[in-house]
Structure 1
Amino acid sequence: MSTRIPVVAQLPRLTTNDVLDALRTAFTELAAGTAVQPPQTVMPLPGGGDVITYQAVIGDAYGVKVSPYLPQLNRSAVVTAWTLVLSTCTGRPLLLCDAHTLTVERTAATSALAVDRLARPDAATLAVIGSGTQARAHLRYARAVRDFTSLRMYGRELVQADAPEGVAVARTAEEAVAGADVVLLCTSAAEPVIDATALAPGTVVTSISTNAPRAHEIAPEALADLEVYGDYRPTVTAAACEMVLAAEQGMWSPEHLRGDLPELLTGGCPLASGERPVFFRSIGLGIEDLAIARLLARP
């Protein structure tokens, strides 16, 4: 008998609280050992580009996101993503989802969970470096976990008329981060965009992954002067490029990672001391994709 897979071509509007709660639960289950998060895999393509797969298991659901990166001659690369959810009880597919928007939401929400655990309770000034879809999602999720009173954004082509409501446009990245309590890096840069070591002690900086080869938004040598956290300890130090480069050059060791999100949410690692700037690095995890896809698969 054939099985008809529910296909979600466009992500329905989910509330920020729904997404944050789903990810918080997923990472807590990961800490408890009732969820599984293997490393992502990268499959190089013969003609250039690659396909990344992100897998995870939560409860009775297995999920895999397949994300091709397909370079094109004389135009931007094609990047797509699809998430498939299967029942681990019946083996039947539960959902196939166009994961483009899902990826934006889960990435921003993951950064916000880290901000909630690592930023000072009275954090008031937020700086966002980048002005695209990911930057605007990060702004939205960060505002859901802290009552920021000063909001700044920097993008190379961003003008005030195009900025989100209530956000001041900075002329440079340095101007945006000056005096900020939280800095969200949301660029596609393959090299550092700010000097994280120049920030005040206790300032939280988050950074995400991009498709640029060996991309890193802060300098690898900066890690030695920061309190460093990641989304998941077993995978982030092997995939986050500034961590890989710093380790290769003997400037930092994965043993110096202070904690990850499962530990931060369950008291398994120390919180930020306030003595140095704080750096949180996420690489994107299948458990994040599955946590949100499960919301879509609910009856």
Structure 2
Amino acid sequence: MVERLPHLPPGDVLHALRTAFTKLAEGSAVQPPQTLTPLPGGGDVIAYQAALDDTYGLKISPYLPRTGRSAVVTAWTLVMSTRTGRPLLLCDAHALTVERTAATSALAVDHLARPEAATLAVIGSGPQAHAHLRYARAVRAFASVRMYAPTLTEAKAPDGVTVAHSAEEAAAGADVVLLCTSAAQPVIDAAALPPGTVVTSISTNAPRAHEIPPAALPAMEVYGDYRPTVTTAAGEMVLAAEADLWSAEQLRGDLPELLTGACLPPSGERPVLFRSLGLGIEDLAIARLLKCP
């Protein structure tokens, strides 16, 4: 059992994800929808599954409320051999989830941002924000980086990062904007950004959570991590569809399609949104980098 994630070079993580999403596009990997199981008395467990080559992966993330105390939230990933049926790895998935989420966003940035993109904005200052910054720098040589969070100070900012006074100030003029918050409501007006600006959003697991206004979708070119799942669960997409503002058919592409050239790249005529929910194949791809017998 691996309880602490060892250092994984960003290049190795990005390569593992590129390979996994390419195999998903080719039909040699399987990505079922995530499932949520309500628990008697309250709480739930979300399960993320995937199959890749000769391995099967399962991540479970329980939410266990407690009276008068904070809820228990854990995450564990199991990797099993589909040749022998035996478990290969069990690991605490908290750190793994941070890495795979940030690396997925960076992979999208590498395919969606303009070649000359030089200015990066990061909204948030927690572990996800720092991981997103690290992986974004691994795919592009940004000349300028701005970060905003309500409690962020110059003393706490990462090296080479300028602290903005608001989310709007951070995003203004940026080529890429990484939203890394736990907000369940919009934090920026993405549709007001200049054409070609790439916005990534991960949001939180609150019901119908969204970091951009649903009404912004018609004015943007929208991509997601995986077409069959993102359009049915991403908060802003669900809300926009219910209001007849946007439909799943308007999703321009997903990561498997971007990696294999099966969808159109951004036109440069509108802002771009990349929305990710988190996928079992991401967990499995990175878990396979750990020491397995």
- What's the TM-score bracket when you normalise by the shorter of the two chains? over 0.9
Confirm or deny that 1:260 pairs with 2:225: no
CA RMSD for the aligned pairs? Answer: 1.0
Distance in structure 2 (CA, Å) of the matches to 1:249 and 1:48: 30
1:205 corresponding residue in structure 2:
199
Which whole-Å deviations, capped at 9, do the CAs of 1:27-62 have from their partners, x for residues lacking one?
000000000000000112233221100000000000
Distance in structure 2 (CA, Å) of the matches to 1:72 and 1:116: 42
Distance in structure 2 (CA, Å) of the matches to 1:107 and 1:206: 11
Tell me the SS of whatever aligns to 1:117: helix
Tell me the SS of whatever aligns to 2:289: helix
Q: How does 1:175-194 map to 2 (within 5 A)?
A: 175-194=169-188
Give the alignment's TM-score, normalised by structure 2: 0.98
Residue 138 (structure 1) aligned to one of 107, 126, 132: 132
Write the letter of the residue equivalent to 1:66. Answer: I
2:11 corresponding residue in structure 1:
17
Question: Do 1:126 and 1:152's aligned partners in 2 also have CA atoms closer than 8 Å?
Answer: yes
Give the Å deviation of 1:79.
Answer: 1.6
Confirm or deny that 1:66 pairs with 2:60: yes
Distance in structure 2 (CA, Å) of the matches to 1:144 and 1:110: 12
1:4 corresponding residue in structure 2:
none
Q: Which runs of 5+ in 2 are unaligned?
A: none
Distance in structure 2 (CA, Å) of the matches to 1:254 and 1:72: 37
Tell me the SS of whatever aligns to 1:153: strand
1:118 corresponding residue in structure 2:
112
After TM superposition, which residue ranges in structure 1, 4 or more long, deviate above 4 angstroms?
none
| Number of aligned residues | 293
Confirm or deny that 1:232 pairs with 2:226: yes
Residue 236 (structure 2) aligned to one of 217, 232, 242: 242
2:97 corresponding residue in structure 1:
103
Distance in structure 2 (CA, Å) of the matches to 1:72 and 1:134: 26
Residues 119 and 14 (structure 1), Cα distance of their counterparts in 2 relative to 1, 3 Å cut: same
Distance in structure 1 (CA, Å) of the matches to 2:73 and 2:279: 17
Residue 55 (structure 1) aligned to one of 39, 49, 56: 49
Which whole-Å deviations, capped at 9, do the CAs of 1:189-225 have from their partners, x for residues lacking one?
0100000011000000000041222110001111011
Q: Which runs of 5+ in 1 are unaligned?
A: 1-6
Residue 89 (structure 1) aligned to one of 78, 83, 87: 83
Give the Å deviation of 1:248.
Answer: 1.1
Question: Do 1:118 and 1:271's aligned partners in 2 also have CA atoms closer than 8 Å?
Answer: yes
Distance in structure 1 (CA, Å) of the matches to 2:43 and 2:194: 39
More divergent stretch after superposition (204-213 vs 188-197): 204-213
Distance in structure 2 (CA, Å) of the matches to 1:64 and 1:99: 11
Residues 76 and 176 (structure 1), Cα distance of their counterparts in 2 relative to 1, 3 Å cut: farther
Question: Do 1:226 and 1:277's aligned partners in 2 also have CA atoms closer than 8 Å?
Answer: yes
